Amino acid sequence: MPIGEGRTILAIESSCDETAAAVLTGDELRSNVIAGQDVHARWGGVVPELASRAHQENIVPVVHQALEDAGIDRHELDAIAFTQGPGLMGALLVGTCFARSMARSLEIPMVAVDHIRAHALAHFIKDATHRPVPVFPYLNLTVSGGHTLIVVVHAADRMEVLGTTLDDAAGEAFDKGAKLMGLPYPGGPEIDRLASAGDPKAFRLSKPRVEGMDMSFSGVKSSFRQLCLKLEGERPGSVALQKNDLAAVLQHTILNILLGRVEMAVESTGITQVAISGGVSANSGLRARLSQLAERKGWSVFIPPMVYCTDNAAMIGIAGQFLLDAGITSPLDTVPLARTL
């Protein structure tokens, strides 16, 4: 049966600092609108209260734009999917309340979607790129600023968590490391850029000792802080002077942790389809090393286009279609959940 059975849905994402809306018919993406929030840059991280206010300002124009780009009227919608969680409570409330009122006024069903599960299903969004899609079961590493976990996706509604971070998310480790170097938020893209010109072996950072497939990044961050302090203590200005090497070392250490867990996951499950998603999957080092590893080991790798890796509503839409296919809808009094899984 084709995903979504020709059903047209509006999807809304508002879990963190992006207000996003998308329209899908079946698995085909018809529009995808994302409004970022510049208000956080000067604070070096997302400020929850500012995020909620920006979502309130953005949600109506973003939804209008998504319908207009798709060339449809709201009365042509068959259902609404929205992010129920996890995320910032105030931010989730904006999307949830909007979805509730719109579903009620149009008298159509709505479906609550788990943001983390949606990241792992982003591979199925169909667009002009016509890329291959994984076949269930596959492994998915979701790496973003808020989450880091590796799961077996047995089916759209059945995911088994193999390992998760015990402290910071991988994206947070990039962002906090970048902040220590005086780089702007979010630091991941900047570290990626600098790392390409640096030597990943120039310094050594301590490695976390974590059992099984769980991960830890807070020790990497502390070890990186100590390294920066030591360098500055020896010679003021050296962090800026050696920023390429420092970025390369930080990135290399984070990627070693992630790729080590991917290898363990393949070995323990025997599943050789490896998919990645989340903002950190934009990292050029991660993409290159994963592709090399896959070629050596004979794995298939799935990395969605960047716009579906970072937070977006298209992934909420595809996850919503899978749920609706399974006959799942949510009551109109559904409330957001700050934590799930």
Find the shortest distance in angstroms from Cβ 7 to ligand KG4. Answer: 26
Based on the shown chain and the rule CB under 6 A, indicate whether residue 278 belongs to the binding site for ligand KG4. yes
Nearer CB in complex with ligand KG4: 114/192: 192
Residue 140: phi, psi to the nearest 5? -130, 125
Binds ligand KG4 by CB under 6 A, chosen from 8, 96, 310, 321: 310
Q: Is 88:52 a contact under the CB 8 Å cutoff?
A: yes
Nearer CB in complex with ligand KG4: 146/208: 146
Find the shortest distance in angstroms from Cβ 87 to ligand KG4. Answer: 8
Rounded distance, CA 81 to CA 334, Å? Answer: 12
Q: Is 299:293 a contact under the CB 8 Å cutoff?
A: yes
Binds ligand KG4 by CB under 6 A, chosen from 14, 148, 283, 330: 283
Nearer CB in complex with ligand KG4: 208/278: 278
Find the shortest distance in angstroms from Cβ 267 to ligand KG4. Answer: 26
Nearer CB in complex with ligand KG4: 170/324: 170
Nearer CB in complex with ligand KG4: 193/235: 193
Nearer CB in complex with Zn ion: 103/323: 323
CA distances to 18, 119, 300 from 154, in Å: 29, 15, 16
Residue 310: phi, psi to the nearest 5? -75, 175
Based on the shown chain and the rule CB under 5 A, indicate whether residue 311 belongs to the binding site for Zn ion. yes
DSSP letters spanning 173-206 = HHHHHHHHTTPPSS-HHHHHHHHTTS-TTSS--P
Based on the shown chain and the rule CB under 5 A, indicate whether residue 140 belongs to the binding site for Zn ion. no
3-state per-residue secondary structure call for 227-273:
HHHHHHHHCCCHHHHCHHHHHHHHHHHHHHHHHHHHHHHHHHHCCCE
Query: Which is it for strands 19-25 and 28-35: parallel, antiparallel or unpaired?
Result: antiparallel
Find the shortest distance in angstroms from Cβ 277 to ligand KG4. Answer: 8
Which residues, 6+ apart, have CB-to-CB distance to 155 below 8 Å? Answer: 136, 137
Site string for ligand KG4, 160-199 (x = CB under 6 A): -----------x--xx----------xxxx--x-------
Tell me which of Zn ion, ligand KG4, none is bound by residue 21, counting a contact when its beta carbon lies within the kind-specific cut-off of 5 to 8 angstroms. Answer: none
Enclosing H/E stretch for 66: helix 48-70
Nearer CB in complex with ligand KG4: 139/280: 280
Instruction: Report 8-47 residues binding ligand KG4 (CB under 6 A).
Output: 16
Tell me which of ligand KG4, Zn ion, none is bound by residue 174, counting a contact when its beta carbon lies within the kind-specific cut-off of 5 to 8 angstroms. Answer: ligand KG4
Instruction: Report 112-171 residues binding ligand KG4 (CB under 6 A).
Output: 144-146, 171
Based on the shown chain and the rule CB under 6 A, indicate whether residue 304 belongs to the binding site for ligand KG4. no
Find the shortest distance in angstroms from Cβ 186 to ligand KG4. Answer: 4
Q: Is 50:39 a contact under the CB 8 Å cutoff?
A: yes
| Burial (Cβ within 10 Å: 0-12, 13-18, ≥19) of residue 211 | exposed
Number of residues forming the site for Zn ion (CB under 5 A): 2
Based on the shown chain and the rule CB under 5 A, indicate whether residue 13 belongs to the binding site for Zn ion. no
Residue 311: phi, psi to the nearest 5? -60, 130
Find the shortest distance in angstroms from Cβ 213 to Zn ion. Answer: 20
Based on the shown chain and the rule CB under 5 A, indicate whether residue 144 belongs to the binding site for Zn ion. yes
Rounded distance, CA 129 to CA 110, Å? Answer: 29
Rounded distance, CA 217 to CA 171, Å? Answer: 10
Tokens of 62: 């973003």
Based on the shown chain and the rule CB under 5 A, indicate whether residue 114 belongs to the binding site for Zn ion. no
| Interacting residue ranges for ligand KG4, rule: CB under 6 A | 16, 144-146, 171, 174-175, 186-189, 192, 278-280, 282-283, 310-311
| Interacting residue ranges for Zn ion, rule: CB under 5 A | 144, 311
